[in-house]
Amino acid sequence: MNRDTLYQALSVGVLVGLWQLVLHLELVHAAVLPAPTTILASTVALLGDGEFLRHFSTSMTRTVVAGGVAVMSGTVIGLAMGWNTTVRALLQPPISALYPLPVIALLPLLVLAFGSSETALVFTAAFGGFFLVVSNAKNGATRIEQVYLDAARDNGATSTYQLFREVLLPGSLPLLFTGVRLGVSTSFLIVISVELIAGGEGLGYLMWVAWNTYALEELYGTIVVIGLVGVGITYGLEYLQHRLVPWNDDSTEGSFI
């Protein structure tokens, strides 16, 4: 076990200990905040429930589709903006204007536009993740120094495709992976948020039902599962980055994780 893993495990242990202390001192009633062991038991029970797994599968499918759309579109547009100043000049203004918009507030308009709440939900989640991918892909491409392009040309890389394959893509990958990690995580967050208000099914919808029926153990259990999925996305993509981009493991530009 390395030092980082030890510290992470220690932080979780301290959090659980403080949680238990709050309950022991009766600062919060157990009916409002159940004990960690109670929530753990509820989480295990949920993971063995077929209905819960169906909602879980729905949220994961939405996240995969939305994250995939965000990553593919954001990568292509971001690299094009970083590689070509004309493309950057054309696309930077509309992207800068759209980025601050609260994506969930656009949901009613998207339902009208697509005629399907499911399509609107997925598009909303993809829309939110897209900007993080595009920003990091663009920054990854623009930070490549001219000397590397000149060296590639001196070694026979004369076509645009060769320069893209041998210089642009490898040089952009560290920041691009940061964008992918943030973009997919954001898409997942938006999927859950939209399900809370208009999902009809999914983990967010289960949270809404549990809240309205005061089923707090199920509510907290669902929150735990959502948190574990978020951790899995972050560390899974981070591990993939370290495996596929070993020449630059410490790129964190644009990241808050």
Q: Going from the N-terminus, what domains does the chain have, and what CATH number goes with each?
A: 30-244 (1.10.3720.10)
Helix (H) or strand (E) holding 222: helix 216-244
Closest by alpha carbon to 178, among 129, 213, 227? 129
Give me the helix-helix angle, 216-244 and 50-83, nearest 10°: 40
Report the chain's C-alpha Rg in angstroms.
22
Q: What's the predicted TM-score (pTM) here?
A: 0.85
Lowest mean pLDDT among 53-57, 94-98, 124-128, 195-199: 195-199
Helix (H) or strand (E) holding 44: helix 36-47
**Average pLDDT along the chain:** 85
Q: To which residue do tokens 């308009």 refer?
A: 109
Is the pLDDT assigned to residue 10 strictly greater than 70? Answer: yes
User: With 0-12 CB in 10 A as exposed, 13-18 as middle and 19+ as buried, what is 73?
Assistant: middle
Instruction: Collapse the DSSP code of 168 into the 3-class scheme (helix H, G, I; strand E, B; otherwise coil) and give the result.
Output: helix
Q: Which two tokens stand for residue 32?
A: 């409002």
Is the pLDDT assigned to residue 55 strictly greater than 90? Answer: yes
Is the pLDDT assigned to residue 253 strictly greater than 80? Answer: no
CA–CA separation, 210 and 1 (whole Å): 38
pLDDT in tens, 158-191: 777 777 777 787 888 889 999 999 999 999 999 9
